Structure 1
């Protein structure tokens, strides 16, 4: 082995958190003394993730494009912060705007009690329409939110992690649609953006997991399958869509948003300490036929 590789190995072994057989299993899913950023925090997945992190001992910084959180589910997040005596912050942030992302992070780092140790990138949109007529501006907007926005926030988190000299874990929410095309709906732009998130996670993991002299940042992606929410209700009204989507899953049903709590905790916590540059696909077997 080359001398520089030996030095890199020794450095990384010293810096990287590793599995401890003496640790209680429950601690592998705990996020105590950590602050986690959640984007798209007022959406169905975002609110569920934020409440889950709070319940697991972490503080949460929520980012979304709205001036104030107005979703009915936001009260669940606030209740979790009170119940588990955790810190919760909300900042308006358009993830497409690099200057605004920088400004928000300059504000939030002075407020947090514990260092930033993670990110769950839930911000995303899915605009449907036939590719032959799909407006180029709509295509660019979707890529800008789903892919560029994910990168900008991941970059901002990484800068603060490096300043604090702590390890961290990022979960970039992609989709099974990054692997396959969706039957019955025209989502070329969305599918392209989520395939991009897969590659972004792998590339960031390669860079931030092996660079000597910087803290270890693990980066993985999460690929949900169809989730039954108010957001998918309209699509399911199309004749035959319900039976098609259900029948395309090996479990013969759609998922519910709560079924992504444990996967996110696993990826954020120390239980996944040897996992990076991977995609955790939670799709009911949809992609495995």
Structure 2
């Protein structure tokens, strides 16, 4: 991968196509939540490009269906070496246990199996600690923590041994960010929940890991690039001095789902340009 950082555009991300190939993934099936845009959409497209069939789910089902159609059209127009997978759009409220089971049933109906489940959906609230409302802390824990738990439960009910679950934590699980007390708390909980799930679901032969992104160029962190002071701070605390791209998060995800990681479980991989050390 080539680093595209330059002096004229210091916050530029590297969006070069990932070249890793795991041929064993073709024909398998995945569920990805929060897949209508951002990293979730990148995950769905990247997996489908490699022959994985995907149920992409989001609370915004209209946008999710549009994203699925766009990915399928794009893949059909490409000259790929292998047959691409198919993306099916679905609606999910990740705070609803029944919605997760419905997702599982869609995957089973469409593809006959569930091999991977990526708990990507999340919210990113802001408030100083003395202004965090009961509604905010409840919402962020419901979406970011319960959504992960319910997704993992649904996955475990239907996965065969060898299945893999990947949760989205954050570098904020390790570093305090002012105004993000509720968010940081939720992501720390996701990191610890991942370890608990790995221990207990290991009995079923299911691996569970998490990815902890730092400053990644998505809609969720658009505020960083729109605020010169925030962008300068972000680049100062990232040793690589640039923002990351969704493609750079997809690479570790692909590894964690692959057979190359078949003895890796209960871990969190930081994809943060080294910012957790600063």
TM range (shorter): 0.7 to 0.9
Q: Which has the larger radius of gyration?
A: 1
Number of corresponding residues: 255
Contact 2:68 2:89 survives alignment (8 Å): no
TM-score by length of 2: 0.85
Alpha-carbon displacement from aligned partner over 1:122-173 (angstroms, at most 9, x marks no partner): 1001010111012111110011000101110111011011xxx342111101
The unaligned stretches of length 5 or more in structure 1 are 1-25
Alpha-carbon displacement from aligned partner over 1:234-253 (angstroms, at most 9, x marks no partner): 24433521111101011011
Q: Distance in 1 between matches of 2:271 and 2:239?
A: 12
> Secondary structure at the residue paired with 1:111?
helix
CA deviation after TM superposition for structure 1 residue 76, in Å:
4.8
Q: Distance in 2 between matches of 1:107 and 1:223?
A: 28
Please point out which of 259, 273, 276 is paired with 1:270: 259
Output aligned runs, 1:90-129, within 5 Å.
90-113=89-112, 115-129=113-127
CA deviation after TM superposition for structure 1 residue 106, in Å:
3.0
1:43 aligns with 2:64: no
1:190 aligns with 2:189: no
- Aligned equivalent of 1:8: none
Report the more deviating stretch, 94-103 or 151-160: 94-103
1:228 aligns with 2:231: no
Q: Distance in 1 between matches of 2:201 and 2:75?
A: 31
Report the more deviating stretch, 83-92 or 37-46: 83-92
- RMSD value, Cα: 2.1
Alpha-carbon displacement from aligned partner over 1:28-53 (angstroms, at most 9, x marks no partner): 46412210110001120001000111
- Aligned equivalent of 1:207: 200
> Secondary structure at the residue paired with 2:125?
coil
Contact 1:175 1:223 survives alignment (8 Å): yes
Output aligned runs, 1:1-289, within 5 Å.
28=22, 30-69=24-63, 76-82=70-76, 83=78, 84-113=83-112, 115-161=113-159, 165-182=160-177, 185-209=178-202, 211=203, 214=204, 216-289=205-278
Contact 2:101 2:154 survives alignment (8 Å): yes
TM-score by length of 1: 0.82
Q: Distance in 2 between matches of 1:283 and 1:64?
A: 25
Contact 1:229 1:257 survives alignment (8 Å): yes
